Amino acid sequence: LRHLVVVLGDQLDPDSAAFDGFDPARDGVWMAEVVEESTHVWSHKARIALFLSAMRHFAQALRARGWPVEYHRLGAHDFHGLSAALADTLVRRRPAAIRMVRAGDCRVEAAIEACAVAQQIRVGRVPDTHFIATEADFGRWADGRRQLRLEYWYRALRKRTGVLMDGATPAGGQWNYDQQNRASFGAEGPGWVPEPVRFMPDAITREVIDLVEARFPTHPGSLRGFDWPVTPAQAAEALDDFITHRLASFGHYQDAMWTDRGWLYHSRLSAALNLKLIDPMTVCRAAEQAWRAGMAPIAAVEGFVRQILGWREYVRGLYWRFMPGWLDDNALDAHVRLPSFFWTGQTDMACLRQVIEQTLATGYAHHIQRLMVTGLYALLLGVAPRQVHAWYLAIFVDAVEWVELPNVLGMSQHADGGRMASKPYVASGKYIERMSNYCRHCRFDPGEATGETACPFTTLYWDFLARHRARFAEHPRLALQVRNLDRIDPDRLQAIRAQAAALRGQ
Ligand code: FAD
Ligand code: SF4
């Protein structure tokens, strides 16, 4: 065997550079389903099913090209982890080299490299053309900068790719349309929103669903409504559906939340993107095309492109620059245990109940639900960052460490002390009241910080500012919040802090 092309579950890119020059007579593809990848965090059943179904569809498509694929199915072998399964193949087949693109997770990458070294087989790592920028591009941009701010990276990529550019000028004349975006639905609510296209499980997915129910019965989440795209063709259809029906209102309502309305105007493309069933540049170009064709306003399209060309590429650059050290960061010295209701949704707090129940049912929550409901609660409570990280990595269908970890440890938990987000995203229950209708169905009052009906977010918000006052008093973007803290009467603050201590003791 000349090249063993190793394809991991989040590398299902039919155009991967790992296949360049593939010769079916001399090369082979290797894929494996192993228990460890579903259990190293307590994975949502839909996350496991999505990966396995998409992998099986991908192997089928490669075989249809006439390519040899050595595919290890869960249950058909006894290997617990990837490296044991790979070692067995390397011993048997002695390829001259492994070819692969970078893994989406440091842990997996290290395991494969160690396995190859032990077998004295070279790993030829090829550039991952799925991403718009390479790690080296990011490194060149980041070197010598004191602060690595998304906005400047995003602008650099807009210029380099020409996406939403008219020559050297940003399309529409501005780089950023946030002021027109991020509205709430007001008192009336969202009204009718076109439902996203759903993909009913085919025979492969049904088989995988039965396998997951049988092998991982105690894992969190439900498979009842499983409808995620599992092939490139389905991902393309999901993109088309989003561009045609929801993109135009994406920006305006991107931060809004509403009871029992999980998707709203979001694209639901993250899982397909992260498994590489669809190319991010294709997605950005389709959105740009919609604007140029007059189908969507510039504010919506720019807001959407910013998420993919900006945030997605930015967090990937940060991940490889700062891992593995990032995992141990705990700048705010947070040590509380993750509340057990994160795994069940059983809490009186309506916002958390809604978001967690939705996540258990679907494996999905949109950005603000993740950042300003579950993430905010963990941050205000002072949950140990590693536990928050393990929950996010387990519970979302789109969770792969390179994208999950910076969002959780950097953006949401401020565990890195501000490397990524210049300030912690802290707010009281009033923010949730403004951006959703959750508080209307809650026994707590977002305006109250003490007493029976006090909103735990509001109580913990003041306590958070008091606990970290020294750190943030001079912070340009938090000083105002600290000044409001200082206006609270000392006796009242003491009562708030006593109530917060009770919440933190759980
Ligand atoms: P849309 O709202 O339609 O956005 C379009 C696309 O932009 C997404 O599909 C995604 O690919 C990209 N995107 C948007 N925001 C981000 C971001 N902050 N970082 C990187 N890409 C982004 N995203 C993941 O893909 N996997 C994760 O494990 C993940 N964990 C997160 C954890 C926390 C605490 C937070 C705050 C955010 C996390 N995100 C994660 C980012 C974001 O919430 C999801 O990408 C988004 O909600 C997916 O839904 P969508 O496809 O409908 O996205
Ligand atoms: Fe959440 Fe507080 Fe509103 Fe209840 S009152 S839904 S706990 S923010």
Whether ipTM tops 0.90, in short, is: yes
Q: Where do the CATH 1.25.40.80 domains begin and end in the chain?
A: 135-193+246-322
The pLDDT of residue 182 is: 86
pLDDT at position 469 over 90: yes
Atom of ligand 2 nearest to the CA of 446: 5
Question: What percentage of the chain reaches a pLDDT higher than 70?
Answer: 100
3-state secondary structure of 44: coil
Q: In the predicted model, is pLDDT for residue 16 greater than 70?
A: yes
Rounded Cα–Cα distance for residues 182 and 106 (Å): 34
User: Taking residues 444-453, what's their average pLDDT?
Assistant: 98
Provide the pLDDT for residue 240.
Answer: 98
In this structure, which ligand is nearest to the CA of 348?
A: 2
Q: Give nearest CA residue, ligand 2 atom 3.
A: 439
Question: Which residue has tokens 């707010």?
Answer: 427
Distance 270 CA to ligand 1 centre (A): 6
Asked if residue 179 has pLDDT above 90, the reply is no
* Whether the predicted pLDDT of 290 surpasses 80: yes
Query: How far, in Å, from the CA of 329 to the mean position of ligand 1?
Result: 22
- Could you tell which of 259, 438, 441 is best to mutate to test the pocket of ligand 2, judged by most ligand atoms within 8 Å of the CB? 438
Nearest CA to ligand 1 atom 48: 270
Distance CA 374, CA 355 (A): 8
pLDDT at 181: 87
Query: Which CA distances in Å does 3 have to 24, 65, 231, 378, 502?
Result: 10, 17, 25, 46, 59
* Cβ–ligand 2 contact at 442 (below 6 Å): yes
Pick the CATH number of 135-193+246-322 from 3.40.630.30, 1.10.3720.10, 1.10.630.10, 1.25.40.80: 1.25.40.80
Backbone angles phi, psi at 383, to 5 degrees: -75, 145
pLDDT above 70 for 327: yes
CA distance 335 to 210: 38
Locus of tokens 């129910």: 213
Average pLDDT over residues 458-474: 96
Average pLDDT taken over every residue of the chain: 97
Nearest atom (ligand 1) to Cα of 412: 34
Instruction: Please tell me the distance between residue 69's alpha carbon and the centre of ligand 1 in angstroms.
Output: 32
| Integer-rounded Cα radius of gyration of the chain | 23
CB 413 within 8 A of CB 425: no
| Centroid of ligand 2 to alpha carbon of 493 (angstroms) | 20
Share of the chain above pLDDT 90, in %: 96
pLDDT tens for 121-134 read 999 999 999 999 99
Pocket test for ligand 1, best of 138, 150, 270 (most atoms within 8 A of CB): 270
Closest-CA residue, ligand 1 atom 18, reads 311
407: Cβ below 6 Å to ligand 1?
A: yes
Atom of ligand 2 nearest to the CA of 444: 5
Of 22, 16, 18, 17, whose CA–CA distance to 2 is shortest? 22
Q: Check residue 347 and give its pLDDT.
A: 98
Q: What are the start and end residues of each CATH 1.10.579.10 domain in the chain?
A: 340-505
Chosen CATH of 3-126 out of 3.40.920.10, 3.40.50.620, 3.30.565.10, 3.40.50.11240:
3.40.50.620
The pLDDT of residue 506 = 66
Cα–Cα distance for residue pair 326/78, rounded to 1 Å: 33
Q: Domain 340-505 maps to which CATH number in 1.10.579.10, 3.90.1150.10, 2.30.40.10, 1.10.3720.10?
A: 1.10.579.10
CA 277/CA 5 separation, integer angstroms: 18
Report whether residue 274 contacts ligand 1, using a CB cutoff of 6 Å: yes
List residues bridging with 336 in a β-sheet. 383
* Mean pLDDT (whole number) for 32-41: 95
292: pLDDT strictly greater than 90: yes
**Among 53, 43, 10, which Cα is nearest to 396's?**
43
**Rounded Cα distance, 348 and 442, in Å:** 7
Q: What is the pLDDT of residues 107-156, one digit of tens each?
A: 999 999 999 999 999 999 999 999 999 999 999 999 999 889 999 999 99
Residue range(s) of every CATH 3.40.50.620 domain in the chain: 3-126
Extract the runs of DSSP E, i.e. beta strands, from 183-284. Answer: none
Average pLDDT over residues 196-218: 98
Q: What is the pLDDT of residues 83-105, one digit of tens each?
A: 999 999 999 999 999 999 999 99
pLDDT at position 258 is 98
**How far does residue 447's CA lie from ligand 2's centre (Å)?**
9
Tell me the ligand closest to 259's alpha carbon: 2
Cα–Cα distance for residue pair 285/428, rounded to 1 Å:
38
400 Cα to the center of ligand 1, angstroms: 11
Q: Is the CB of 403 under 6 A from ligand 1?
A: yes
Strand order in the sheet with 122-126: 69-72, 28-32, 3-6, 97-101, 122-126
Please indicate whether residue 377, judged by its CB atom, sits closer than 6 Å to ligand 1: no
For residue 436, the ligand closest to its alpha carbon is 2
Cis peptide before 324 (omega within 30 of 0): yes
Question: 307: closest CA among 184, 372, 403?
Answer: 403
Q: In the prediction, which pLDDT does 131 show?
A: 97
* pTM metric for this prediction: 0.98
Q: Using alpha carbons, select from 259, 309, 264 the residue that is nearest to residue 284.
A: 309
444 Cβ inside 6 Å of ligand 2:
yes
Q: Quick one: average pLDDT of 155-177?
A: 97
Whose tokens are 């789109």? That residue is 398
Please state whether beta strands 97-101 and 122-126 pair in parallel, antiparallel, or not at all (unpaired). parallel
Closest among 381, 333, 372 to 354, alpha carbons compared: 372
Residue 422: pLDDT band by 50, 70, 90 thresholds? confident
Q: Lowest-pLDDT range, 12-26, 148-162, 178-192, 399-413?
A: 178-192
Mean pLDDT on 382-411: 98
Q: How far is CA 308 from CA 115, 314, 480, 498, in A?
A: 34, 9, 32, 43
Task: Tell me the C-alpha distance between 276 and 157, whole Å.
Answer: 20
Tokens of 414: 């401020």
